[in-house]
Structure formats: structure tokens, C-alpha cells
Amino acid sequence: MPGGVPHPAADPAPSVDRVPTVDRAQSRSDRAQPRSAQLSDPAEPIAPAEPAIAPLETPQPTPKTDLSHLPKFIENPVHEDRPSTAELRAEKKSERRASNVSLNALARRGMSSREMELLLERRELEPEDIEAEVARLEGAGLLDDVQLAENLVRTLHERKGLGKSAIAAEMRRRKVDDAAISGALEALDADDELERAIEVAVKRASQLRSYDQETAKRRLSAYLQRRGYGGSVLSAAMKAALEGSSSGPRFS
């Protein structure tokens, strides 16, 4: 130093309290642990953390309702007896066959309901198909025993000259309903029947001229009975034909 000035003494380094050295490995271990573990008492066991979401409960099976007291179609709407497509086609085919048979028969002549039933039975159709077809025809007016009975009375009486008993027998043979038969015969006027019986007797008597009186009467009576005439109508017709008609047989 110049001038002999003494060199100032260096200030002594300030006194610094030294921080105790911490084991770095221990510090890293502490940082790796959860904060809750760092703050807890090492002597106490660490409780497991609660899960964020509670686990789902296992669904319990729904108890089956007892349907034993209910009808079968409610318990099982899709019934195992439901007809298959093939069965439906067979059913439609049977219905068409019944319709074809019935309409072909009605095209030839009128029929009673019972006649139609018997015809379809002979064709070996199923009972339910027969019943359905007869009901269908009745609903459409194609089978009508009352109308058929009236037509038969008109045809058998006016065209063929039959009396009530013969007409009734023919309608019973045709299986016409009994009530329809009675109604149609009641509508046949007694005077009309007598008039027609006389016409039939006179015509037949003209064919008996070669017979004697007794034989002619016997043959004429049997003929009128076969035509369905009887009682007072028969007697009056024979009298008119054998005695009062100029066209009748002449007896000596």
C-alpha cells in the first residue's frame, strides 16, 4: 500500500447459521408419499381411500308373475295353436271348393238348406266349412226354404197338377223346412186345388173310355190319389169327370 497506510483488514465473513443437511433420499421418499400420509402419525395405519364412484349393485331378477289362473290366450298371446301359413292356405282352398260345389248345384236348380248340407257332406268337406258355406248362402238369399216352398207349390200344382199331399211329400223329399212347407200349403186356395183336380180328372177320364164304369172309376181314383188329391176334392173331381163332362167316358 502507498504511504505506509496500513491495509485495512478484511471484514470477517458474516456468520450464517447453517441449515442442517437433510438426507436427499429421505426427502424424495417423503415427496413420493401422499400428503395425507405425510401428515398422519406414522404409528397409525393408513385407511384406504374411498372410491370416487360407488360400485353398481347387481340387478336382482324380477319375480315371475303367476298367470296360472288366467286364460291361456292372456298368459301367452302368441299361442302355439295359431294356424300356420300352410294351414291358412288349406283353409282358403277348402272354402273355395265349398263355394264352387254349392254355386254349381244352385245353377241347376233351387235347393233347400238341408239339401245343400247333405251335398257338401257327400263331397267330404269339413263340418265347419259346410256350416260356413250354408250360412253364407242363406245370408246372400241363395238359400231360402220359404221361397223354395212357394216356388215348388206353384210349379207342382199349376204345371204338374199335383194336390196338396203330393206337393207336401215332394217338399219333404227335398228337405224343405217343415214351417216353410206348412206356410206354402196354407197359401194354396182350396178352390184352386179343386179346379185343378177337375182338370186333371177330366183329362185322365178321356183315356178310360174302353173300360166299364167300375173299372174306370177305380183307375181314375187311384190316379188322382197318386197326384195328391183326396177327400172331398177327389170325390168332386171324379164326379165332374165321369158324369158331368161330355169328354169323359160314356158308360152304357
pLDDT at 165: 93
- Classify domain 190-242 at the CATH topology level: Arc Repressor Mutant, subunit A (1.10.10)
Burial class (CB in 10 A: 0-12, 13-18, 19+), 237: buried
- Rounded Cα distance, 162 and 155, in Å: 9
For residue 145, the number of C-alpha atoms closer than 13 Å in the C-beta half-sphere is: 19
pLDDT at 174: 96
For the residues 74-99, what does the mean pLDDT come to? 68
Question: In the predicted model, is pLDDT for residue 168 greater than 90?
Answer: yes
pLDDT at 150: 95
For the domain bounded by 84-143, which CATH number is listed?
1.10.10
Place of cell 450464517: 16
Using one digit for the tens of pLDDT, what is the confidence trace for 49-82?
555 565 666 667 766 666 566 555 455 555 556 6
**pLDDT grade, residue 203 (50/70/90)?**
very high
- Rounded Cα distance, 168 and 154, in Å: 12
pLDDT at 46: 57
Q: Mean pLDDT over all residues of the chain?
A: 78
pLDDT at 53: 61
**pLDDT grade, residue 95 (50/70/90)?**
confident
